[in-house]
A and B are shown apart, each in its own frame.
Chain A
């Protein structure tokens, strides 16, 4: 799953599910990042507001994505991300990168990493930093940038 020949040869664009979980209605950050990732040649599926962890992981499976990016600013990140991580393990999405963006207090950073979150981006992050992180860490390894986004 997700490691077909197209990915290995770097011909398929990196595919990302950008998701809003819980009841948080602040979606513009997620939309700006989504647009920035498209500009960087990635393929983005945006879930829209108010998704459950179950819906997010189901979308990730359906879309055969390489990265899940979760935006959350409501303060409910601990229980919701614990659930997302558990569901990802249950469905064998161990090689899918899990990124989190939003208002995350410093004390929660280490516990989130222990759940399985790969990176946390705070407000005032430059889009480039996110693109660089994804390119460096996505499961297929750094693809040929010339090939990205041409599909």
Chain B
């Protein structure tokens, strides 16, 4: 019992304080006995760059393959975002993932009734290829290590937009690397940009991966996410199990199309996420690499080590707060450090003002610099998996692995990802988890410094640099621009291309070729999405809570 040990600044004496959000209760100390009890020997851990890749996918860790600096960015109009992208290139960002606004993510044009008030708000307003050309004006896609967007509900359109952009910039497919999320399944339970029935969305996502397996195997067009599942409430252990279920569903869909596993598995990424507990974040990455290697080899018969070696991306967060926002720089640094020590392949870093507003230039620059400091200044990446062999970390890796495997088995037993979405099982776990987190916060066992602990009444508003928010006038200009585009483009070519998309989708053909033709003709995201709605019907919101 630690009940009598009160600290002046209020660390809870409650046993719950020593339980990780990811599940396990943490012992006061770990030693060799914990490793043998969990059967964690050298062969279970393996060497860096070898099966089961617990210690990372490269034999020398960060030396030859440093964690790439990834930025998720986009705001206001295409011009606004072009200014931001140019700055990012100057600052040394290596991967730009374009954040597009909600209308574009959900397949609406800026002049759709549902877009009112949303245009350019939570990302850049994009309606057609013309807008993407503007965003990347002066920045050839080959200039970056990778470029892309999320495109979860509009995968083929996102792929086509970047292919057409590269064409306009005179870049060949081999000259650049596209990186899309293209993971619709989690949208239905955790992120919310879905607009088609589940199975049709999966089919479109599979079209994208199938296309790249045949034409651009160096692209990364499937990034299966834990991030949103965890943040919504699932926690990282359930979240990872659900993501593995989702990945399994995509992989099986592609195998059913006749693609060999090794033709597409190397381009799959998992977007892992654990932001509550530092060591759990490192252990989760290591555990998931081990599970993935065995899943790909034993279930799907992969032979190429690249298929078994999991490519991990992550978003360096802390538990950011609105109060005393500069403290978020500390939280995000620590969250990012965990992923850096875990040896992830690419890393986004949150901006300290992200919880308050669309990040300012100054805040994004700090986020980029944070990773560059970690990569260059303090010797973090000199050796592979520097924490490997730690009694605590290896025990925790093993414990989280068991927890994830058990839950993944439960998902499989319940019929797999699709069945668990339809039955409301995942939704229920997420709601329960979110309530549990709220209760733990309210009970004081998940302290937030400056919020429910050590709070003061200082005015911190100076700490956030305002961003020029999208005005209603700018939104109106976006609608005028779109009307102008519709006037000047070749209307007959657009209509013909949209008819071809419809015919291809109705026939069950891969949609990418016809969508690409429509995008080249400057058909809009909304117009192409309307064709998909027409063919597939629309998703209906769930009113349970």
Q: Count the A-B residue pairs with Cβ separation under 8 angstroms: how many? A: 104
State whether A103 touches B356 (Cβ < 8 A). yes
A151→B524 CA distance, assembly (Å): 52
B117-125, B161-169, B295-303 - the one binding chain A: B117-125
Does B106 lie at the interface of the complex (its beta carbon under 8 Å from any beta carbon of A)?
yes
A135→B121 CA distance, assembly (Å): 34
B267 CB to closest chain A CB (Å) equals 26
Does B10 lie at the interface of the complex (its beta carbon under 8 Å from any beta carbon of A)?
no
State whether A35 touches B431 (Cβ < 8 A). yes
A93 CB to closest chain B CB (Å) equals 21
- Judged by DSSP, the binding face of B is loop
Q: Out of B113, B233, B451, B545, which one reaches A30, CB within 8 Å?
A: B545
In residues 468-510 of chain B, which contact A (Cβ within 8 Å)?
469-470, 472
- Contact string against A for B residues 520-544, beta-carbon threshold 8 Å, 1 for contact and 0 otherwise: 0000000000000000000001111
State whether A76 touches B117 (Cβ < 8 A). yes
A2-10, A110-118, A124-132, A136-144 - the one binding chain B: A124-132
B265 CB to closest chain A CB (Å) equals 29
Which residues of chain B have C-beta atoms less than 8 A from A27's C-beta? 192
A126→B355 CA distance, assembly (Å): 18
A46-B472 contact, Cβ under 8 Å, with A28-B430, A79-B116, A124-B321: no
By beta carbon, the residue of chain B nearest A72 is B117
A46→B448 CA distance, assembly (Å): 29
A106→B347 CA distance, assembly (Å): 31
By beta carbon, the residue of chain B nearest A122 is B322
- Judged by DSSP, the binding face of A is loop
Which residues of chain B have C-beta atoms less than 8 A from A76's C-beta? 116-118, 121
State whether B121 touches A75 (Cβ < 8 A). yes
Which residues of chain B have C-beta atoms less than 8 A from A128's C-beta? 442
Which residues of chain A have C-beta atoms less than 8 A from B321's C-beta? 124
State whether A31 touches B431 (Cβ < 8 A). yes
| Chain A count of residues within 8 A CB distance of the other chain | 37
Does A40 lie at the interface of the complex (its beta carbon under 8 Å from any beta carbon of B)?
no
Which residues of chain B have C-beta atoms less than 8 A from A48's C-beta? 541-543
Does B449 lie at the interface of the complex (its beta carbon under 8 Å from any beta carbon of A)?
no
In residues 303-333 of chain B, which contact A (Cβ within 8 Å)?
321-322
Does A148 lie at the interface of the complex (its beta carbon under 8 Å from any beta carbon of B)?
no
A60 CB to closest chain B CB (Å) equals 15
State whether B355 touches A103 (Cβ < 8 A). yes
State whether B545 touches A74 (Cβ < 8 A). no
In residues 177-193 of chain B, which contact A (Cβ within 8 Å)?
187, 190-193
Does A145 lie at the interface of the complex (its beta carbon under 8 Å from any beta carbon of B)?
no
Does A41 lie at the interface of the complex (its beta carbon under 8 Å from any beta carbon of B)?
no
State whether A46 touches B543 (Cβ < 8 A). yes
Does A80 lie at the interface of the complex (its beta carbon under 8 Å from any beta carbon of B)?
yes
A75-B122 contact, Cβ under 8 Å, with A25-B187, A28-B431: yes
Which residues of chain B have C-beta atoms less than 8 A from A78's C-beta? 117
Q: Out of B113, B121, B356, B430, which one reaches A74, CB within 8 Å?
A: B121
In residues 18-60 of chain A, which contact B (Cβ within 8 Å)?
18, 22-32, 34-36, 44, 46-50, 52
Q: Which 7 A-B pairs have the closest CB atoms?
A: A25-B192, A48-B541, A79-B117, A76-B117, A23-B102, A75-B121, A31-B545
Q: Which B positions have Cβ atoms within 8 angstroms of A?
A: 102-103, 105-106, 108, 113-118, 121-122, 187, 190-193, 232-233, 321-322, 355-358, 430-431, 434-435, 438, 441-442, 448, 451-452, 461, 469-470, 472, 541-545
Q: List 16 A-B contacts (CB under 8 A).
A: A23-B114, A23-B118, A25-B192, A26-B192, A28-B190, A31-B545, A32-B233, A32-B434, A49-B192, A50-B114, A52-B113, A75-B121, A76-B118, A76-B121, A103-B356, A124-B441
Please give 13 more A-B residue pairs, beta carbons under 8 A apart, in addition to A28-B233, A28-B431.
Answer: A23-B103, A23-B108, A23-B118, A26-B191, A26-B232, A32-B233, A32-B435, A44-B545, A75-B358, A75-B469, A79-B472, A80-B116, A103-B355
